[in-house]
Structure 1
């Protein structure tokens, strides 16, 4: 028996989406709302590159989901449309958190193929990049996205020093650097070595959290482009915007709409209901957690599991269990604890323990099940 289209039910070959890619986290919208002043500041800093000069360095700061990466990508697209004499490369430092891996990505962006996996020193890798820039007479603009991960691994100063001093070893090399930090507790400039601070004097561009009115405006455009007409009603848009504003992360709302749309399709409905939204939010609210966990190494993920099993225990007791599983020493263990604390995955609070002095107790910052489910 055929369904009556007036009943508001989807057929097997129908969808609520007009363009599902609009709800991908890395989608770059045609219009970029409520970031005019930030785009003007970035344009000001990079304008010299289009004229063949070294651009100003930039520090881009702001919580996750405030448009920092989108701003960089839009500006890169504009530069690419304007000239071929500027090479723009964005490096994801959550994935590439060492100086060598950062420069491997710069090598790949310069030559369009990856460097050898072994047998090439950093000096040679760096030299080939710089020499190619000089030979092509091109300006390189490097965006170190989520640069806070380089700080967590104590790699930031060495990486930045190499980039900023490139012209001293390779005359004619012109490189500008954009540091993008999503850690509001990290004072980027103060945490750099003095030798780097003396040459890194960036333009400071801050991206604040979107307020609810701005969230509604941005999400409405995504809805208009991504869903068929009538799929999302005004109350649904308002509820998603409310949940998004509470989280402070626009990515939550974007992911929430995608999941809510899929929920509606699973019901065979042509419209998204409040229940579809509330159900989707139980997953979407953890988007920042999922992203942080995906970037962990095996030993870091192991420590998260151990802390989950020993939630609230003292750091020394947690170490004993961690060492049994990994054979890693206390120094590396302490480094990982500090990184997980900086990522807000755990709380590492100091307390006075009778007979032991000050000691840290370690606990997860999220519900245990939510963490363990996303580690699998």
Structure 2
């Protein structure tokens, strides 16, 4: 065994990498070329055009499964608007992280003033008032993107948040705010789930992002490979295999994460090329990227319930509650709310069934393999 793996022509030396630019495979990377979403970008541009002229833009509802380019489209659009005019302020709020009305407006305050609001002692009304007054004072239009708005629905905060944004001009004459809501939950009917007071004023343009098909996935991933890896690191056959696994998942982020992990696996072997074995090994982790993302946003009590369900898989809701209550001391109402959220997130299946002697009851079971969830909860 030699000390220097670089002695072999096919082996990397210690200071070499298969990556040209590893950031290309990060989740927050915005590609220079954004393929197969021209129609969606045109619709979004059409909705925001009035803002560039100083008027309130059209509101927009962006829908589509995870990993279909929705967030990238918003980032590209906001970047273009910001480059074109200073009269429009764009702020994207990640609702998985900011899942209450107050935290959404705290983020809007931070985006407006470039510093965070006081951590305590400021009412929502005052917070909102300062944001609106600054808009009027500077005569700017604010465009807010509520990304992953489904998380506001899971916390029953969506109607209040949207009502405040859409009615801003009534309390603060001259305030011009447009709203883009972005939902990654195909089962959520955004309009139907809103209060009637919000439905009456929220009549958005509808922009749908379908799942990418395999030829589209190949062209997108090929562009990432070209920018992210050195030449000849990923063979066409390997790329096609990654695209096939990505198409099966329906989530482009799986393929992007898979390429990065496969590259790291090749480096572990000190290889200059990504082989099929690197892809297969990486897929065992990358296929759960959506699960990992969902789990990362859970509170301590939500994680605790998921662990309890994992050890009581398929049991009735009442039995699960007893174990959960023993562990957390939370009441049944909060328990039921958390069950509904985990169900909406696709982490569990909460199915009603007729139980002899007990009427209708819900049985709770995991939507993923038990080990996959428990490993990621640690």
What is the TM-score with the length of structure 2 in the denominator?
0.98
Superposed, 1:1-376 pairs within 5 Å as 7-376=9-378
How many residue pairs align between the two structures?
Answer: 376
Could you tell me how far 1:7 is from its partner in structure 2? 2.8
User: Mean Cα displacement is larger for which, 35-44 or 189-198?
Assistant: 189-198
Could you tell me how far 1:148 is from its partner in structure 2? 0.4
* Structure 1 vs Structure 2 CA RMSD: 0.8
SS in 1 for 2:202: coil
Deviation digits for residues 155-197 of structure 1 (CA, Å, limit 9, x no counterpart): 0000000000000000100000000000000000111111100
Report if the CA contact (8 A) 2:24-2:224 is conserved. Answer: yes
CA distance in 2, matches of 1:125, 1:327: 34
SS in 2 for 1:228: coil
SS in 2 for 1:144: strand
Could you tell me how far 1:374 is from its partner in structure 2? 0.6
SS in 1 for 2:13: coil
Report if the CA contact (8 A) 2:12-2:270 is conserved. Answer: yes
SS in 2 for 1:199: coil
Report if the CA contact (8 A) 2:6-2:13 is conserved. Answer: no
Deviation digits for residues 104-144 of structure 1 (CA, Å, limit 9, x no counterpart): 00000000000011101000000000000000111000000
CA distance in 2, matches of 1:202, 1:317: 43
CA distance in 2, matches of 1:116, 1:262: 42
Could you tell me how far 1:26 is from its partner in structure 2? 1.2
CA distance in 2, matches of 1:105, 1:208: 29
CA distance in 2, matches of 1:5, 1:74: 44
**Which structure 1 residue ranges, 4+ long, deviate > 3 Å from structure 2?**
1-6
CA distance in 1, matches of 2:214, 2:66: 16
Structure 2 gaps of 5+ residues are none
CA distance in 1, matches of 2:271, 2:196: 60
Report if the CA contact (8 A) 2:5-2:270 is conserved. Answer: no
Deviation digits for residues 36-90 of structure 1 (CA, Å, limit 9, x no counterpart): 0000000000011111110000000000000000000000000011001111000
Q: 1:55 to 1:207 in 2, by over 3 A?
A: same
Q: 1:326 to 1:48 in 2, by over 3 A?
A: same
What is the TM-score with the length of structure 1 in the denominator?
0.99
SS in 1 for 2:177: strand
CA distance in 1, matches of 2:9, 2:306: 49
Report if the CA contact (8 A) 2:309-2:366 is conserved. Answer: yes
Could you tell me how far 1:6 is from its partner in structure 2? 5.7
CA distance in 1, matches of 2:92, 2:236: 37
SS in 2 for 1:7: coil
CA distance in 2, matches of 1:352, 1:358: 4
CA distance in 2, matches of 1:5, 1:93: 50
SS in 1 for 2:185: coil
Report if the CA contact (8 A) 2:6-2:14 is conserved. Answer: no
